[in-house]
Amino acid sequence: MPPAADNGSAMGDEASAMDGGAPAMGTDGPLVEDFGRRIGRAMGWPPIAGRLAGVLMLSPTPMTLSELQTTLGASKGSTSEMTRLLIANGTVERVKVPGVRQAGYVWRDDAWSGCLQHQLAQTEQLLELAKSAQERGVGMPEAQQARLRDMHSYYDFMVRQLRRLLDEYRQLHAG
């Protein structure tokens, strides 16, 4: 597939794709659809978020919300909500594109580290819940206290392991 023209947008050849020309790089339908199904399902995201992740991961340049909306054939609200989801999950960032009024969105160079950082932050929140629940559950019957101890033990273990994995992953990609 020939690369898209570098016109400051991943949509460079998208209009020609609609007219029967080659699609812009990053908008390969079957691959994007596969992302929608597989990464979306694995991450617990709606399929449109997986498709958006696929488009941005494969795009050589930032894409505006309007370009993403057109590429995905999705509503403005859905596209906006899914970009926020991917930003919160640490894989996408909003950027200023020179000469363009709208913000652009790009797949982060450190997206997988960002994704792992997001998982760690979520797990740390659950560890705090487990600590609080364990403290507040002191007067409960032993069976419930055991469940709360198990919850605390699990999230304590997960936080330690995720921190180790994040450090190891960052070291692996630093050199």
> Over the stretch 92-132, which tens digit does the pLDDT of each residue have?
999 999 999 999 999 999 999 999 999 999 999 999 999 99
> Over the stretch 66-81, which tens digit does the pLDDT of each residue have?
999 999 999 999 999 9
User: Tokens 């991450």 identify what position?
Assistant: 43
pLDDT at 27: 58
Inform me whether the pLDDT recorded for 10 exceeds 60. no
> Could you tell me the domains of the chain?
14-107 (1.10.10.10), 111-174 (1.10.287)
**Are 67 and 77 a contacting pair, CB within 8 Å?**
no
Q: Is the dihedral of CA 81, 87, 91, 95 positive or negative?
A: positive
**Mean predicted confidence (pLDDT) in 26-50:** 84
Distance in angstroms (rounded) separating the CA atoms of residues 16 and 63: 17
Distance in angstroms (rounded) separating the CA atoms of residues 12 and 160: 45
